[in-house]
Structure 1
Amino acid sequence: MRAYADNDYPDNHKPDWKIIAGLWPYLAEYRGRVVLAVVLLVAAKLATVATPVALKYIVDYLDTTSAADVVLWIPVMLVVAYGSLRFGSTLFSELRDAVFARVAERAMRRVSLRVFRHLHNLALGFHLDRKTGGLARDIERGTNGISFLLRFTLFNIVPTILEILMVSAILLWAFSPGYVVAILVAVVVYVVFSIRVTEWRTHFVREANARDNQSNSRAVDSLLNYETVKYFNNEDFEAKQYDEDLEEWERARLKNRLSLAALNTGQSLIIGVALVVIMAMAVAEVASGAITLGDFTMINAYLIQLFIPLNALGFVYREIRQALVNVERLFGLLGKAPAVTDAPDAGELNTAGGTVRFEGVRFGYQPDRTILHDVSFEIPAGHKVAVVGASGAGKSTLARLLFRFFDVDAGRITIDGQDIRTVTQDSLRSAIGVVPQDTVLFNDTLYQNLAYGRPGASEEEVYRAAQLAHLDHFIESLPQGYQTRVGERGLKLSGGEKQRVAIARVFLKNPPILILDEATSSLDSVSEQVILEALREVSEQRTTLVIAHRLSTVRDADTILVMADGGMVERGTHRQLLAAGGRYADLWQRQQEGSEPDASPKQTD
């Protein structure tokens, strides 16, 4: 059964509120827009706070003036002022949103791009261990969380606090301090209750997110392995496993919903009690003649105006708390340091001929398990060196180290005398072309997959690469030709067809150094001979490292290295090694007799 990690954070983990401050660099690009948005925010709140004052004067004028003495233009002007203030509040708020829209969207774009680049820079081990579905959800929720934090922190929490201060100042100036005390007590009780309960229910939010990631990861994993599911008639098993994950997600969501209901009920109770107390105070003062009916109307308007955003503030705090969790996971991805980085003074790789040297290389994927032991050999410029051996000997590890997916633990690898750790990864990998054991294609057209070898190549160059890989006749036989879509991971193509696409990509890239990692492993005998001839042509002027299982494919190599237990045990030409009668000769004999126990063409060292 496949295992999926649950929540990465313990229940008592508290997200770092400094994350909000860490968003400032994404605002700095549009400082002017941010300042203008804040100005419009203040203007909107001033208009909002002034609206009940206009309403008070309308009511007082109509209440204290007899019908015979009413001057019509006065209440009309007051009504116009009241309407203008309400419209101004809405107008300034909409302008604020319009001004800030580019800031928020650009921040999401910048963070998404930064995460995307960072993920591509992480070590191969991270991508071998990742859960694609869960990772995609974390990125999606994290970028949306950034937008939420930017918008609601600036446009909900700050305005609400500003409005509370303005209303309190007006009530303190116009009425008795009791109103201000009652409002502040209600606000404090509301905020403390909201924070405490939200902290309590945050782990329900995390659990729901973790279960969502788990079910999504399982669904994606199962669909990516569609053929394997079919091979073993395990559709019902996969559905059962998926439903078990959904059941856990359902339970987590239910806890989340019930805790949310408790929070909403408590908040509504606090607001209701506060409204009753303050309105009772106002009614008593109206009855005693201490305040006017217009004052009563203004107090009522302020309470409605104040408690609606305060209620929204509870929602915003809850959502900010959840957004912080989501953004924290996103920033957690950014916090994963790449295992392989460019040196501070790294320069460009200069390839004069492309001589590759392994000098005393020792390496292990884990500290307690060494894969390569003191490996030394040279591939002279323009020569072809093949590495053969049983599965697990460390052959493919050599290719990964040369391409610098990992750094060596000891020794060094040089190209034309330059330690590959002292040059930029970009220049190193630009100089190396790889045909891997298992080619995975993008869900796009054949043409786009071929052009991926060099995205700026012309159509003629792409077609020429397909011809060199002996892929052109196959493509021309397809109804849609080069525009044929290959499906997810290239599943619509056979193994041999995908391998020839990989070979065509390398022809197109045209690098000085080639790595052929079981490049013909998926081809039938006829196709293999055709491709081997093409590979011989393209490798004539290039330094070539061939990782091989079938010895018949490397007989023409200038040097053949035999690996066993992480070291080189034999080296020489095909004829020399056969004449030596050692391990190579034994492997050759077994393959010729078709009795080699390791005969699978697909292996990973």
Structure 2
Amino acid sequence: MMGAPAEKARSFGPSVKRLLRLLLSHPLSVGTVVGSTVASVILMAVAPRVLGHATDLVFNGVIGSMLPAGLTKDQAIAGMRASGDNTFADMVSSMDVTPGVGVDFSAVGQVLLIVALLYICSSFLGWLAGYLLNVVVVRTIRGLRAEVEEKVHRLPLRYYDASARGDLLSRVTNDLDNLSQSLQQTVAQFLNSVLMVIALLVMMIWISPLLALIAILTVPLAFVATAQIAKRSKPHFMAQWASTGALNAQVEEAFTGHELVKAFGRQGELEETFDERNDKLYESSWRAQFISGIIMPTIMFLGNLNYVAVAVVGGLRVASGSLSLGEVQAFIQYSRQFTQPLTQIGSMFNLMQSGVASAERIFDVLDAEEETPDPADPETPADDHGLIAFENVSFRYHPDKPLIEDLSLVAQPGHMVAIVGPTGAGKTTLVNLIMRFYDVDQGTIRVDGVDSRRMTRDDLRERTGMVLQDSWLFGGTIYDNIAYGDPTASRAEVMEAAQLSHVDHFVRTLPDGYDTVLDEEGGGVSAGERQLITIARAFLAKPTILILDEATSSVDTRTELLIQQAMANLRTDRTSFVIAHRLSTVRDADVIVVMEDGHIVEQGTHDELLAAGGAYCRLYNSQFAGPAEIDEDESVQAT
């Protein structure tokens, strides 16, 4: 899923329509934006026509001062024709001149004042529209970011298992930021440009349909050129953001596992991988920007051709008296303004393509299949003892790869159930099914007699405490990290949980005690101490069902024994599932379940399974017998 956009560009239109629907969720603000923009464009379009009237006043005054005073206009024109100057006579015949009268500067001043007011009002309305539209965009992105955040919590664990964390982070951060920037820089300008093209086209047709036809001839060429170039740049923009996600994923992995990288001397290999992905990002970014960058020069070239044609034909029309000089001046200004919004639209296409590419990656997350919803009429167990029953459970991560098949198991309240077996046997999957991180394909898991799928996930997980092999701490104090297990707990309850899990004895040796601030990596405490904090968090939750997935693997032997003693106190009327590879930690378990290839091959107490001489016995001997007594098969099983 994550790499697909780099190979195939999806439809531009549906993504744009979806973005527009998001923007239109603020109808009042959008309506004000459109109204202000329309008014601003109309005033901007009218101003050159009014300014052309000032040019006519000046030109008429100059020509009038050149004619003999005391004559009428018709007499002056007749004199020109009598002298053979028919071209000049045709031009004067279409002008409003009075022989011997110069420029009326008062009238010119009034016209210029009107033009200034038109431009001032247009600019204010344009600023208002831009301001309100930015507010709409910011609110839309805020809502989209909140929607993505909510969606992330509704996605099943299967989605995260199949996704690179760095790429997902890139989608919900980089792509959202890029979309926000693209919308802010393009929507207002695009709306203004489209309306400006329409208004200027109307004004040009009003002045001269012939010149308008000449000017319009370049528009289809511009759109065809833009569409063809954009079509070729879209896949590269998709590849650019897909490569950005892949690069972020690689960097995140390198930063997270930097100690391991250095321990195995893999810096050079990581640098090669980084360089390869960085070069791929560079290549796709360069191609996207280069191809999309051709749009603006192409439109400018067509605009210049249009300008030359309008200037030549317009000059001939003035000479023939068909148009006034002010009208031609206004038309030339319109023609230049007409190509400007087209140029702006072309120049925005690279930003628009980049923004839409990011939007599609965000929509991928929003459209991802969510975990099955909780039942409309959920059930709650009448008792809260922790009786867990697996009834003919089957589950597969992939349809063609069986993992757990027809598994049945009963965990009695207050019992410690140890799950052992080789890697890949399905041990962790079993507890994931209990927590409903995944739902079973067939069969039923009952909690105190109720099908777990008939319970809400919150109800099920409130009864369950889980400690994983990889300890997770968030940035905050040690106290806050423990209290995360039950935010309503009192300080005394937090301290009790810390003492039961043997956190208290090392916390008191720290200068700030429970107020010691930890970062996300748990800096300042050891790996074992981090694990103890997570165990204290689980103790504080007082769960009915306790799941420990290799939870003591980072703890020394003495502390492990102390934790086991503390767990014994918690197991009263509670069910504990312990996944362990170190079999010394599960000797006292009430039931030891041995799994191989998704099946339970043995179950019983430690002594019973050793006496049976089966799979558990082989695993146990592989860990505690001397190296010379371990044969090849047992060695493989032990791993």
Same fold (TM over 0.5): yes
Q: Which of 134, 137, 144 is 1:104 aligned to?
A: 137
Contact kept? 2:415, 2:590, Cα under 8 Å: yes
Correspondence 1:506 to 2:538 = yes
Q: For the structure 1 residues 568 and 457, does the alpha-carbon distance in structure 2 shift closer, same or farther, using more than 3 Å as the test?
A: same
Q: Residue 392 of structure 1 aligns to which amino acid in structure 2?
A: G
Question: How far, CA to CA, are the matches of 1:103 and 1:180 in structure 2?
Answer: 36
Q: For the structure 1 residues 547 and 240, does the alpha-carbon distance in structure 2 shift closer, same or farther, using more than 3 Å as the test?
A: closer
Contact kept? 1:351, 1:415, Cα under 8 Å: no
Q: Which of 5, 8, 11 is 2:5 aligned to?
A: 8
Report the CA distance between 1:400 and its aligned residue: 0.8
- Matched position secondary structure for 2:294: helix
Contact kept? 1:342, 1:421, Cα under 8 Å: no
Describe the superposition over 1:434-486 as per-residue Cα deviations: whole angstroms up to 9, x where unpaired.
01122233354434433333345555544443333221232232334445444
Q: Which is worse superposed, 24-33 or 90-99?
A: 24-33
Correspondence 1:20 to 2:12 = no
Q: Which of 278, 286, 290 is 1:246 aligned to?
A: 278
Q: Which is worse superposed, 340-349 or 314-323?
A: 340-349
Q: Residue 110 of structure 2 aligns to which amino acid in structure 1?
A: M
Task: Name the counterpart of 1:381.
Answer: 413
Q: Which of 80, 90, 115 is 2:123 aligned to?
A: 90
Question: How far, CA to CA, are the matches of 2:488 and 2:314 in structure 1?
Answer: 75
Q: Residue 32 of structure 1 aligns to which amino acid in structure 2?
A: L
Q: Which of 365, 376, 395 is 1:345 aligned to?
A: 376
1:362-441 paired onto structure 2 within 5 Å: 362-441=394-473
- Matched position secondary structure for 1:17: helix
Task: Name the counterpart of 2:51.
Answer: 55
Q: Which of 531, 537, 543 is 2:563 aligned to?
A: 531
- Matched position secondary structure for 1:374: strand
Unaligned runs of 5+ in 1: none
Question: How far, CA to CA, are the matches of 2:199 and 2:291 in structure 1?
Answer: 33
Report the CA distance between 1:208 and its aligned residue: 3.0
Contact kept? 1:403, 1:428, Cα under 8 Å: yes
Question: How far, CA to CA, are the matches of 2:487 and 2:615 in structure 1?
Answer: 44
Q: Which of 166, 169, 173 is 1:136 aligned to?
A: 169
Q: For the structure 1 residues 509 and 77, does the alpha-carbon distance in structure 2 shift closer, same or farther, using more than 3 Å as the test?
A: farther
Contact kept? 1:355, 1:415, Cα under 8 Å: yes
Q: Residue 127 of structure 2 aligns to which amino acid in structure 1?
A: E
Question: How far, CA to CA, are the matches of 1:93 and 1:351 in structure 2?
Answer: 65
- Matched position secondary structure for 1:571: strand
Describe the superposition over 1:103-136 as per-residue Cα deviations: whole angstroms up to 9, x where unpaired.
2122212222222332343333432332233333
Q: Residue 38 of structure 1 aligns to which amino acid in structure 2?
A: V
Task: Name the counterpart of 1:164.
Answer: 197
Task: Name the counterpart of 2:156.
Answer: 123
Q: For the structure 1 residues 86 and 191, does the alpha-carbon distance in structure 2 shift closer, same or farther, using more than 3 Å as the test?
A: same
Unaligned runs of 5+ in 2: 66-100
Question: How far, CA to CA, are the matches of 2:191 and 2:131 in structure 1?
Answer: 18
Contact kept? 2:182, 2:354, Cα under 8 Å: no
Question: How far, CA to CA, are the matches of 2:350 and 2:620 in structure 1?
Answer: 68
Q: Which of 478, 501, 515 is 1:446 aligned to?
A: 478
Task: Name the counterpart of 1:79.
Answer: 112
Q: Which is worse superposed, 119-128 or 108-117?
A: 119-128
Contact kept? 2:379, 2:450, Cα under 8 Å: no
- Matched position secondary structure for 1:342: coil
Question: How far, CA to CA, are the matches of 2:224 and 2:414 in structure 1?
Answer: 74
Over aligned residue pairs, what C-alpha RMSD do you find? Answer: 3.1
Q: Residue 5 of structure 2 aligns to which amino acid in structure 1?
A: D
Question: How far, CA to CA, are the matches of 2:598 and 2:250 in structure 1?
Answer: 36
1:490-505 paired onto structure 2 within 5 Å: 490=522, 492-505=524-537
Question: How far, CA to CA, are the matches of 1:568 and 1:537 in structure 2?
Answer: 28
Report the CA distance between 1:504 and its aligned residue: 1.5
Task: Name the counterpart of 1:64.
Answer: 60
- Matched position secondary structure for 2:470: coil
Report the CA distance between 1:546 and its aligned residue: 2.0
Contact kept? 1:358, 1:377, Cα under 8 Å: yes
Q: Which is worse superposed, 397-406 or 316-325?
A: 316-325
Question: How far, CA to CA, are the matches of 2:450 and 2:146 in structure 1?
Answer: 32
Task: Name the counterpart of 1:155.
Answer: 188
Q: Residue 474 of structure 1 aligns to which amino acid in structure 2?
A: F
Correspondence 1:544 to 2:576 = yes
Question: How far, CA to CA, are the matches of 1:483 and 1:275 in structure 2?
Answer: 73
Q: Which is worse superposed, 46-55 or 578-587?
A: 578-587
TM-score, with length taken from structure 2: 0.85
Contact kept? 2:204, 2:334, Cα under 8 Å: no
Contact kept? 1:15, 1:324, Cα under 8 Å: no
- Matched position secondary structure for 2:217: helix
1:224-243 paired onto structure 2 within 5 Å: 224-243=256-275
Q: Residue 115 of structure 2 aligns to which amino acid in structure 1?
A: Y
Describe the superposition over 1:309-352 as per-residue Cα deviations: whole angstroms up to 9, x where unpaired.
211011223322332222112212222213x4125535254462
Contact kept? 2:473, 2:481, Cα under 8 Å: yes
Q: For the structure 1 residues 478 and 420, does the alpha-carbon distance in structure 2 shift closer, same or farther, using more than 3 Å as the test?
A: same
Q: Which is worse superposed, 149-158 or 91-100?
A: 149-158
Correspondence 1:553 to 2:550 = no
- Matched position secondary structure for 2:602: strand
Describe the superposition over 1:378-426 as per-residue Cα deviations: whole angstroms up to 9, x where unpaired.
2233433222333333222210110112122221101122211222223
- Matched position secondary structure for 2:322: coil
Question: How far, CA to CA, are the matches of 1:579 and 1:215 in structure 2?
Answer: 54
Task: Name the counterpart of 1:264.
Answer: 296
Report the CA distance between 1:303 and its aligned residue: 2.3
Contact kept? 1:355, 1:543, Cα under 8 Å: yes
1:207-222 paired onto structure 2 within 5 Å: 207-222=239-254
Question: How far, CA to CA, are the matches of 1:591 and 1:452 in structure 2?
Answer: 37
Q: Which is worse superposed, 93-102 or 271-280?
A: 93-102
- Matched position secondary structure for 2:5: coil
Q: Which is worse superposed, 60-69 or 223-232?
A: 60-69
Task: Name the counterpart of 1:192.
Answer: 224
Contact kept? 2:375, 2:455, Cα under 8 Å: no
Q: For the structure 1 residues 422 and 23, does the alpha-carbon distance in structure 2 shift closer, same or farther, using more than 3 Å as the test?
A: farther
Task: Name the counterpart of 2:345.
Answer: 313
Contact kept? 2:299, 2:339, Cα under 8 Å: no
Correspondence 1:40 to 2:36 = yes
